[in-house]
Chains A and B, each alone.
Chain A
Amino acid sequence: MANLKEVRERISSVKSTQQITKAMKMVSAAKLRKAQDAITQMRPYADQLHRMLVNILSNLEGEANTRFGIAREITSPAIVVVTSNRGLCGAFNTNVVKQAIQVIKNHQDAYDAGNLSILCIGKKGYDGLKNKFPNAKFILDYIDLFADLSFDKVSNVSQYLMDAFNKEDFDVIEVCYGRFKNPAVQFPETDQFLPVPKLEKTLGDNSHKADYIFEPDKETLLEHLIPSILQTKFQKYLLDTHASEHGARMTAMDKATENAEDMLKELKISYNKARQEAITSELSEIVGGAAALEG
C-alpha cells in the first residue's frame, strides 16, 4: 500500500498539471475565436473575387489560358507543409506530416534525383520531415510566418511561389495543411496550388451574364485576377491551419483535464484507504497497549 505522504504528493502534482491544461484550453479557446474571425472576415473578399472570375469566364470566348495554368512535365516539384510551431495539440501536426510524407512518396523519382523542394511553414513540419528526407531541399525562409498572419506578409510567400513557378524552378506546387471544419474536427488535406487546375467555363452560366465593359481587356484582367485569387487561397491555407491548431489543442487539453480529473478520483480513494488503514492500526496498537497495562 502506498504510504500517505507519497499519495498526497501525487495528488498535488496532478492538481497543478490539471490547472495548466485547463489554462491552456482557455487560451486556445480565445485564440480559436480570433482565428475563426479572421477566416470569416476574409470570406466576402474571396467570394467577390470568385464572382468576378466567374463573370469574366462566362464572357470569355475560347480557352481560358494563363501562365499559371501551364502543366509542365514534373521534374522539380515543391511541397509546402503548413504545421504549427508548437506541440501539445494532439495528433494534429503528425497527421499533416503523414499527409506530406504520402505526397512526397508520389514524387519519388524527383526525390531520388534530389530535385524535390520542401517549404516548411511552422517548426513541427520541419522537425517531422528533416530526418526522413535528407535528400530534399528544405526552404526555411518562411518557417516563422505564424508570428504574423497579415495578408501582406503571407502574400510574400505566395508571390515567391508564383515567381518560382513562372521561372520554372518548380513545376508543381502542392500544399499540405490542416483543413478547418469546426473546432472539434480538423483533417489534413493536400491541395494543388500551382498550376491552377483548368478553369471551368461551365461554372459561369448563371445570372451574371451582364454586358460588361472589361478594362483593359478580359485576358489582361484574368492575368491580374488569378494572382489575387491565388494569394487569397494561400492565405486561407494558413488561416485554416491556424484555426485547426487551436481547435486541436483545445480538444487535446480538454481531454487532458478530464483525464486528470479521473486520476484525482482514484488517487483520492487510495489516499483515503491509506488513511483509514493508518488509523485502524494506530487504534489497535492503543487498545493492545491498554490491555497490556491492565494485565
Chain B
Amino acid sequence: MRLVVLTPDQEYFDGDVSSVKVPGTSGQFEILEHHAPIVSALLKGEVRLITSDGEKRFQIEKGFIEVLNNEVSLLVQGLSE
C-alpha cells in the first residue's frame, strides 16, 4: 500500500510500505494491506513503518492518520528521528 507522511514543513516520506504502526488515541494499532477506511487522531509516540528495505522508526508529537482505498496519509507534527 502507498503511504505519504506529511508535516507542515515538508513531505517526509512517500512510498510503498507493508505495515504502519501508529500511537492512536485509544492505543497503538497497526495498519496492514487493505485496511478498512479509518480516520484517527494520534498521540505522542513512535511510528514504525515496514518498507521493502526494512524498518523505519520516528517519533511524533501528535497527528492524524487516514486510510482510504489502500492509501495511507499520515499527518504529523513535531516529527523527529
Contacts and interface: CB of A to CB of B under 8 A. Distances in A.
Interface residues of B, number: 25
Contact of B64 (A38, A52, A151): A52
B9 A41 contact: yes
Contacts of A215: 24-26, 29, 38-41
A89 interface: no
A210 B38 CA distance: 9
A167 B70 CA distance: 42
Nearest to A222: B41
A49 B64 contact: yes
A55 B6 contact: no
Contacts of B73: 48
Interface string B54-81: 0000000010101010000101011000
B25 A216 contact: yes
Tell which of B11, B24, B29, B73 has the most Cβ of chain A within 10 Å.
Answer: B73
Contacts of A51: 66
Contact of B66 (A41, A45, A52, A151): A52
Contact of B75 (A48, A210, A213): A48
Interface stretch (A102-110, A185-193, A224-232, A267-275): A224-232
B64 A212 contact: no
Nearest to B74: A48
A120 interface: no
A221 B38 CA distance: 12
B37 A216 contact: no
A52 B41 CA distance: 11
A41 B9 CA distance: 6
Contacts of A152: 78
Contacts of A257: none
A98 B39 CA distance: 43
A221 B7 contact: no
